[in-house]
Amino acid sequence: MKKYDAIVIGAGHNGLTNAAYLAKAGLDVLVVEKNPYIGGATVSRELHEGWKYSNCSYVCSLLRPEISRDLNLSKFGLQIIPYVGGVTFINDGGYFGSYDDHERQYREIARFSRRDANAYERYKADVTKQTRFIRPFLMRTPPDLSSFKPRDIRELLFYAKSFYNLGEKVLGDTLRFWTMSIGDFLDEYFETDVIKAHLAGSGIIGTALGVYSPGTAYVLLHHYMGEVDGTVGAWGFARGGMGSVAKAIAGAFQSFGGEIKTDAGVDKILVTGNKTKGVVLANGDEYYADIVVSNLDPKRTFLGLVGRGELSDDFRREIESIRMNGPAGKVNFVLSEEPRVNGMPAGRTKSQRSLFTLVPSLEEAEDNYNASRRGDIPRRLWVDCVLASNVDDTLAPAGRHMLTCFVQYLPYQLRAGSWDDQRENLGDRVTELIGQFAPNMPNSVIARRVMAPPDLEDTFAITEGNIFHGDISLDQMFFMRPIPEWSQYRTPIRGLWLCGAGTHPGGGVTGAPGYNAAHAILRAT
C-alpha cells in the first residue's frame, strides 16, 4: 500500500479542516471516513425524496472567518445566509421577538419591562466584552502548565498579560462570570421570565448541565463567538444545509491534492514501539503514515482504536473519566406547508420566521435537567425549531418545508424502558407540542425522523451522543481539554494527534480544533 505523509480519521468538518491545512502545507494527506458520505455531524441528508435537511448540526454561527479566508471556502460554494432573529413562545400564548435592529429590539423588551429594556444594553455590553476577551484564545494551542519550553512560557505570558490588561475590576467580573450559572447571571439583569428563557438557551444547549449549574454562563460565550458578515454573535444558515460547510472544506482540501476515501471505517490504529505507523480499516486494508490524526472523540480514539497495551492505565482512566453524557436529540419533519404559529408577530419576514423556540421557564428548565439526570424524559420539553427552508429554496420543493427540531434535556439512558420503545413517543410529543403553538403543523407532516441520544451516537460515532465530544465546562476546557498534560493535540503515542471537538476550544462548527491541531503538527514536523 502507498505510504502517506498523514492520515486523518473522520471526514467531519474538523478533520477536513485539519487535512486541508496539512495538504496546503505540502503534505500528502489521506482522509478516511466510515460513512459513504462526508461531513460527520455537519452533513445534509435526504429525509424524503426532494427534501434535504441538516441531520445533526443545523445552524452556522461559529465557523472561524480566518478559516473561510485561508481556504477560500466561497470559491467552493459555501454561502451563508445571515439569520436575523427568531421568536420565543411561552405557554400562556405570549411571545418574545428577537430583532437585529437596535431600536426595535429595545421596544420589544420594553413591551414587557422598561427596566429590562435598559438592562439589555448593559447585558449586551458585558457579554460582548467577555466574548472579545476570550476570542483570541480560540485559535491558539493552549499552554502546557507543566512545561518549561519557550513556546509554553510565551503562551502562559500571553494568558497572564491578557488577564492583567483587564484591570482589577473587570478581572474580578470575568472570573465571577466564568463560574456563574446562566440562570443566576440573567437574574442579575432581567425580571421577565420569557426574556430570561429566551437568552438562557445559549448557556445550556447541547450541555448536560442545568440553567442553575455553575459554569453555564461561560457556555453562553461559546455560542456567542460566531461571526457572520463580521458581526460577533451572529447566526446564519449554510445554503444547501450544513453539509455545504463540509463540502466546501473538502473542495479546498482536494484542490491542494488531498485524497478522501469513504466507506472506509477504521478498525484500529497501527502502533509499533509507541509510534504510529498507520491504520487498519474494517475491511482489513492497511494504509501507512507516520502522522495519524483522529477527528473522533477521545474515548472513541483511545478506548476503541488504540490497543490497551499501548497506553498506561492512568491515561486510560483519565480518558474514561471525561464527562460525555449527551443530553439532546433531534426530530426532523418534512412538511406540506409552513407552520402557522399563533401569536407570530405581524410583519415578520420569512427569514424572521425561520427560527422559533418553545421553551419552559428557567424553573421548569431546571426541573427538566433534574428529570433527565434521573433518566426520565421531561414533562415539558425544550424545543428549538428551525425552518431553514424559509430562506433556502434548495431544501424543499416550492411551497413545501423542512423543519428540524433540537430537543434539550433528554437522558442518554432511560431509567425505565429503552429508546427503542420511546423513540416514536418522543416524536409524537414534539409534534403535539408544536401543534399547541402551530395548529396546522401536525396534519402537514409528510415524514419525520426521530433521533434520540443513542441514535446520535450510532449515526455520527460520538460517544453517548455528545455533540461537543465532551461537556463544555471549565474543568474540561482550555489546557484541561481533553485531559491535563495532553491538551495540545498530541498524544502519548508519537505521531498520533487529535483534531476533533474533544480538544480546545471545544464543539460547534468552528473548525478551530482542526486548524489548531494542523498548526501544532506542522510546527512539530
DSSP 433-486: HHHHH-TTTGGGEEEEEEE-HHHHHHHHT-GGG-TTSS--SGGGSGGGSSSTT-
Q: 48 CB contacts (<8 Å, ≥6 apart)?
A: 334, 446, 447
User: Minimal CA–CA distance to 347: which of 106, 97, 107, 114?
Assistant: 97
Q: Are 358 and 437 in contact (CB under 8 A)?
A: yes
Nearest to 400 by CA among 409, 387, 385: 387
* Amino acid (one-letter) located at 112: F
pLDDT for position 220:
81
Check residue 211 and give its pLDDT: 93
**What's 60's DSSP letter?**
B
Q: Is beta strand 286-294 parallel, antiparallel or unpaired with respect to 401-408? A: unpaired
CA distances to 214, 351, 419 from 282, rounded to whole Å, are 42, 44, 28
Report the distance separating Cα 461 and Cα 11, nearest Å.
Answer: 12
User: For position 93, what pLDDT does the model report?
Assistant: 67
What is the value of pTM for the model shown? 0.94
Q: How many helices (H) and strands (E) does the chain have?
A: 16, 20
Instruction: Tell me the residue length of the chain.
Output: 525
Digits of tens for pLDDT over the chain (525 positions)? 789 999 999 999 999 999 999 999 999 999 999 999 999 999 999 988 889 888 888 888 778 889 999 999 999 999 988 877 788 988 766 789 888 788 989 999 999 999 999 999 999 889 888 888 888 888 899 988 888 888 889 998 998 999 888 888 889 989 999 899 999 999 999 999 999 999 998 888 878 889 999 989 888 877 676 554 455 445 788 999 999 999 999 999 999 999 999 999 999 999 999 999 999 999 999 999 999 999 999 999 999 999 999 999 999 999 999 999 889 999 999 999 999 998 888 788 888 899 899 988 899 999 999 999 999 999 989 999 999 999 999 999 999 999 999 999 999 999 999 999 999 999 999 999 999 999 999 999 999 999 999 999 999 999 999 999 998 888 898 899 999 989 999 999 999 999 999 999 998 888 999 999 999 999 998
pLDDT for residue 228: 46
Q: Pull the grid cell for residue 244.
A: 455545504
CB 498 within 8 A of CB 298: yes
Q: Under a CB-based contact definition with an 8 Å cutoff, are residues 42 and 460 in contact?
A: no
Is the preceding peptide bond at 482 cis, omega within 30 degrees of 0? Answer: yes
pLDDT score recorded for residue 225: 64
| 173 Cβ contact list (under 8 Å, min separation 6) | 126
What ranges in 71-192 are assigned the alpha helix state H?
102-110, 114-138, 150-164, 168-179, 182-187
Task: Please give the pLDDT value at position 226.
Answer: 59
Cβ atoms within 10 Å of 174's Cβ, excluding its own: 18
Res 92: pLDDT: 67
Catalogue all structural domains in the chain, each as residue range(s) with its CATH number: 3-79+240-322+482-524 (3.50.50.60), 82-238+324-460 (3.90.660)
